[in-house]
Amino acid sequence: MNSLINSKTMSSVEIAALTGKRHDHVIRDVENTMKLLPEDSPDLGSGFKSSTYVAGNGKNEKCYELSRDATVLIMTGYSVNMRARLVKRWSELEEEAQKPLSLEEMTVQVIQAQQDKIREQQKQIKVKDDLIFVSNEASIKAGDISIREFVKTNDAIDIGGNKFIAWLREKGIIMRHSRQPLQKYVDRGWLSWKFSNKTINGNKRRELKVTPRGQLQLARMYLQFKSNRQLVTN
Query: Per-residue pLDDT tens for 139-175?
Result: 555 688 999 998 988 877 889 999 999 999 999 999 9
Element (H, E) at 196: strand 191-200
CA distance 71 to 78: 11
The phi, psi pair for 206, rounded to 5°, reads -85, 155
* pLDDT of residue 223 exceeding 80: yes
CATH code for position 179: 1.10.10
Mean pLDDT of the chain: 79
User: Are 131 and 90 part of one and the same domain?
Assistant: no
pTM passes above 0.75: no
Backbone CA torsion sign across 110, 115, 120, 121: positive
22 contacts 15 by C-beta, under 8 angstroms:
no
The answer to whether residue 53 sits within a structural domain is yes
Among 85, 87, 103, CA closest to 95: 87
6: in domain:
yes
Residue 129 shares a structural domain with residue 214: yes
> In whole angstroms, how far apart are CA 180 and each of 8, 11, 165, 200?
58, 59, 11, 16
Residue 17 in domain: yes
AA letter at 42: P
**Gap between the Cα atoms of 140 and 97, Å rounded:** 55
**Residues 199, 209: contact at Cβ < 8 Å?**
no
What is the DSSP code (8-state) at residue 127?
H
For the chain, what is the domain count?
Answer: 2
Same domain, 169 and 82: no
CA-to-CA distance for 224 and 129, rounded, in angstroms? 10
Percent of the chain with pLDDT over 90: 26
CA atoms within 13 A on the CB side of 104: 0
Residues 94, 133 within the same domain: no
> Is residue 130 located within the same domain as residue 74?
no
pLDDT at 159: 92
Q: Measure the CA–CA gap between 190 and 184, rounded to whole angstroms.
A: 9
Residue 105 is assigned to a structural domain of this protein = no
Q: How confident is the model at residue 232 (pLDDT cuts 50, 70, 90)?
A: low
130 lies in the same domain as 220: yes
pLDDT at 141: 55
Same domain, 96 and 158: no
Same domain for 149 and 228?
yes
For residue 128, what are the domain limits? 122-233
